[in-house]
Structure 1
Amino acid sequence: MVNKEYIKQKETIDRLIRYSRPYDIKNYVLCLIVYKYLSKKEEKFLREKFNNEPINLKKAYNESEDYQDIKIESEHVNGYFINPDYLFNELVNKAKKDELTIETLELTIFNLKNSLNKNNQNKSITNILEDLNFNSSRLGKTLEEKNKTISEIILRMSTIQLTSNNAGDIFEYIISKYSQIAGKKAGEFYTPHSVSEILAKIVTHTETEISTVYDPTCGSGSSLLELNKYTDELKFYGEELNSTTYNMSLMNMIMHNIKSEDFDIKLGDSLEDKAFKNQQFNAIVANPPFSAKWSSSKKFQEDPRFAEYGKLPPKSKADYAFVLHMIYHLKDNGTMAVVLPHGVLFRGAAEEKIRKHLIEEKNYIDAIIGLPSNLFYGTGIPTIIMVLKKDRKEDDSILFIDASQEYMKVRRQNKLREQDIDKIVNTYQNRKEIDKYSHKATQEEIKENDYNLNIPRYVDTFEEGDLIDLKEISEKLIEANKKLDELDEKIEKQSKKLKIEGLLH
């Protein structure tokens, strides 16, 4: 999008978000923007069938002798068919006349879901509209209120200009705006774009062709989709525990024009369910829930993901459970980058044993990158990116980067600027050592630090201030005390003249 047009679009979206500010209404906005996008694709297809003539599509289709062939071709090309009677513009026209009803919308969505289910091998795609419950009291107490609310959303949405080129950006922008409203809930589905960009640039920095990417806690799918900018012919794999967030990830794929056969997102617990079993991937990115609880069941002691490390990650902190799960699914020549809390660098007990094994026995840890605090909505804790590779035979050092002090403050959040992102990525890719910013630590250094990977042990960020002259300070203090004594004498003399006793006592 051109800058002016993009700004205009954002302003339109902001007005829509303000109207639908109650967080619970977000699902209706997200689902209906996807419906609008699919409807626009259908409209474009139908207009091409009728030679792009300025005609009434509904009338032309209903009167065409080839209407059945057109429907079949649309199902083959787009993977669905929307009858011209139910295109988004028709819904807008009804809303303008106060004729749009919940009943009409229910039929519209029902028909589309059936069409998607019939024409796609990837049956999960039908879930993109699963969270549309038009009977919910969130839309209003009475049927009249519900009709009014949904009509207003559609009317406001009608001014958003959607194309195949900007739909993904618009959807991401809507998600980011709702993330700001959501606060702590945002952690369930949204990774700041700047962090996703770093993850993508790190895992795609390789001579190996990348054809698959996996995220075991994929949220809205934004981190997966970021890789699409840096590599072609990519297939996306992910798992998500929350059903609403899972549906959001499917919508995000659609809005980025990813074919249904090119993504496989599963609903479930990646640690417990093992949906992808023994499958391995070229690249893995993730932002798992920080220090989440998991079962740490004894059954996992024989699980090939965890068995060789001697200890299971603790029940109260699943961070290393996600790390080991990801390693298991990483190809031998692949790269993975995962966002984690700082605790994984220095906590003891089972986590210390796992960390030591990853360093000493496996040599998998490639880099530790410290990020600024307050980057994520809903939590102010500072985080790190841990980069791991299986094929590090020529280098056993670990690159430490302390990027925690380089950011811009935007209201209550900290934000990485492009220059901050570029510096992190460039430092990692070239494994550069920069004073007070990065350091390549040898195995010997790490061993001397008892396999504690806390960044300040390896990157000294201490800035010396001006040297303090204690003699000069002492002389100034004596001089100040002398002046105070002189003032006390003057006050005492004045008080005697005025016959005021004990003014200084």
Structure 2
Amino acid sequence: MSEDQKKQHLEQQLWKIANELRGKMDADDFRDYILGFIFYKYLSRKMELYANEILQPDGLEYGSIEDHKEAESYLEAIKDEAIDALGYFLKPSELFSELARRGNTEGKGAFILGDLQKVLRNIEQSTMGSESEEDFGNLFEDLDLTSSKLGKSEEAKNELIVKVLTHLEEISFELEDTQNDLLGDAYEYLIGKFASGAGKTAGEFYTPQQVSKILAKLVVADKTKIKSVYDPTCGSGSLLLRVAKEVKEVGGFYGQESNPTTYNLCRMNMIMHNVHYKRFDIYNEDTLTNPSPKHIDQKFEAIVANPPFSAKWSASPLFMSDDRFSSYGKLAPKTKADFAFVQHMIHQLDDNGTMACVLPHGVLFRGAAEGHIRKYLIEDRNYLDAVIGLPANIFYGTSIPTCILVLKKKRKQSDKVLFIDSSQHFEKVKTQNILREEDIDKIINTYKQYNNGAEGEAEVDKYSYIATRNEIQENDYNLNIPRYVDTFEEEEAIDLTLVSQELRQVAEALEATDKEIAGYCKELGIETPF
């Protein structure tokens, strides 16, 4: 079985379990349970593999170490090493496989809910006072095993949880192969599946992979490694992780997320993709009002983001003394924080960095404060590198068309801006529009040609156009894509003489038919209908 087939098989298995066991529970609620338990199994298996590696010279296995006469000293030594290497510690009796076995084999009615709750709490407490404490703190707070959503009685709750653990225990996560990322990709797949059915709330934590791929490719360009990637509205972390797939090495992952549940999901997603806890720093607060004190003075080489479209924010005059906004002279309006996020990202962008963010089309042409900020970015700072129009209906929960802004502090094309209209390049799948691989490749190749100075290849009729800053100035800094990319299709000329002849033929045919009907009516002795 190929890697792709293994990945698809694992994804299908996990999604089947999720559908079979969800019952009447809301998809959003069950998402937290199924993803949390998959994460618990992942941590358990990693712990077991790591401990077995330590114990191998002594011919021992972690699962049976508690029966050894020197078990206490072994466990203490393993814990010290595991906390540093993995960031957490689990006893053999706390492993996923052990709880699944007990719940399934200790006779009918075996009750494990209390022990499971304790184990999840112990995972978090094992990190207390260590470098990983912040990365593992409250990770399982959304797995409320006392919730009535799991069942009306304690027995019903226990029965459902045992079923989930038993089904998951039957699936091999293949963590022994450290070169593949099957489980991480399957975890991402589940997040996407839940997002697709979550309606309006989906945009809070997930960016479709097709869009993630475009943003990632835009910010890494032809680089093979980057020092850092940052997402100020990171959701489940899919954008950050997508960047890692486009290069051989990412030094550090940084993000901020205001929703506590989504923040937990992001940290789990990082760990499930084998991102060591020392290499990521995710912060739980509102980015605009409470930026991470660890991040605010850092500069990042790559920045990707899909901020909440036209979100509300305070736009307090106090922000005019904030370094992120003060130089612009105006703040984004209270009802539309889109440019506030852009300003924040520019503040965090390194001099040699690239940022790409998804925004609603309104940022391209709305006036007042937004028009002022747009002009400042283009005329005073010269940061805008490209504007890319995407198809409508590619995001979960909203059908509005969106665009991508690409900004750099040091641009190769210092007096020009690339405009791409990809709004008609997609495939319709059921009710959703999907960007195909060829659509993504066309966007990226066009941008690369423009970035490499191949303007002739970068300008494609009815698709892309390279505008000078003078042209943008003449348009009063309105960036609406149709002003630059002419997609008008001329209709075929109509031959009026031919149309006249066809109408005459139709009239003659109607007249002949009328005569024929009149004849029949006369034979029948009735009046004609006309």
Q: State the TM-score, normalized to the length of structure 1.
A: 0.95
TM-aligned CA deviation for residue 403 of structure 1: 1.2
Q: 2:220 aligns with which of 201, 204, 210?
A: 204
- Aligned-partner SS, 1:227: helix
Q: 1:404 aligns with which of 417, 420, 423?
A: 423
Q: 1:62 aligns with which of 67, 71, 88?
A: 67
Aligned equivalents of 1:205, 1:481: Cα separation in 2: 64
- Where does 1:99-178 land on structure 2 (aligned, <5 Å)? 99-162=110-173, 163=175, 164=178, 165=180, 166-178=182-194
- Aligned-partner SS, 1:339: strand
Number of residue pairs matched by the alignment = 504
Aligned equivalents of 1:357, 1:196: Cα separation in 2: 28
Pair 1:347–1:462, CA change in 2 (3 A): same
Q: 1:478 aligns with which of 504, 509, 522?
A: 504
Aligned equivalents of 2:224, 2:115: Cα separation in 1: 51
Aligned equivalents of 2:90, 2:337: Cα separation in 1: 44
Pair 1:4–1:233, CA change in 2 (3 A): closer
What is aligned with 1:301? 320
RMSD: 2.0
Mapped pair 1:224 → 2:240: yes
Aligned equivalents of 1:399, 1:446: Cα separation in 2: 11
Pair 1:417–1:152, CA change in 2 (3 A): same
What is aligned with 1:390? 409
Pair 1:337–1:233, CA change in 2 (3 A): closer
Contact 2:200–2:398, Cα closer than 8 Å, also in 1: yes
- Aligned-partner SS, 2:10: helix
Contact 2:389–2:481, Cα closer than 8 Å, also in 1: yes
Q: 1:182 aligns with which of 198, 207, 215?
A: 198
Question: Residue type of the partner of 2:517?
Answer: I
Aligned equivalents of 1:235, 1:73: Cα separation in 2: 23
- Aligned-partner SS, 2:198: helix
Q: 1:78 aligns with which of 86, 90, 99?
A: 86
Aligned equivalents of 1:374, 1:202: Cα separation in 2: 22
Contact 2:338–2:363, Cα closer than 8 Å, also in 1: yes
Mapped pair 1:341 → 2:341: no
TM-aligned CA deviation for residue 25 of structure 1: 1.4
TM-aligned CA deviation for residue 140 of structure 1: 1.0
1:183-202 deviations in Å (ceiling 9; x for gaps): 21110000011111111111
Aligned equivalents of 1:362, 1:466: Cα separation in 2: 45
Mapped pair 1:44 → 2:49: yes
Q: 1:356 aligns with which of 360, 375, 385?
A: 375
Contact 1:326–1:336, Cα closer than 8 Å, also in 2: yes
Question: Residue type of the partner of 2:18?
Answer: I
Pair 1:170–1:117, CA change in 2 (3 A): farther
List runs of 5+ in structure 1 lacking aligned partners: none
Contact 2:224–2:249, Cα closer than 8 Å, also in 1: no
Q: 1:239 aligns with which of 256, 269, 287?
A: 256
What is aligned with 1:459? 485
Contact 2:225–2:250, Cα closer than 8 Å, also in 1: no
Contact 2:307–2:359, Cα closer than 8 Å, also in 1: yes
1:143-178 deviations in Å (ceiling 9; x for gaps): 011101111111222233222532211210110111
What is aligned with 2:281? 264
What is aligned with 2:396? 377
Aligned equivalents of 2:183, 2:33: Cα separation in 1: 17
List runs of 5+ in structure 2 lacking aligned partners: 451-457
Pair 1:303–1:198, CA change in 2 (3 A): same
Aligned equivalents of 1:53, 1:467: Cα separation in 2: 87
- Aligned-partner SS, 1:132: coil
TM-aligned CA deviation for residue 384 of structure 1: 0.7
TM-aligned CA deviation for residue 20 of structure 1: 4.5
Pair 1:301–1:413, CA change in 2 (3 A): same
Q: State the TM-score, normalized to the length of structure 2.
A: 0.91
Identity %: 49
Contact 1:92–1:154, Cα closer than 8 Å, also in 2: yes
Aligned equivalents of 1:112, 1:200: Cα separation in 2: 33
- Aligned-partner SS, 1:372: coil
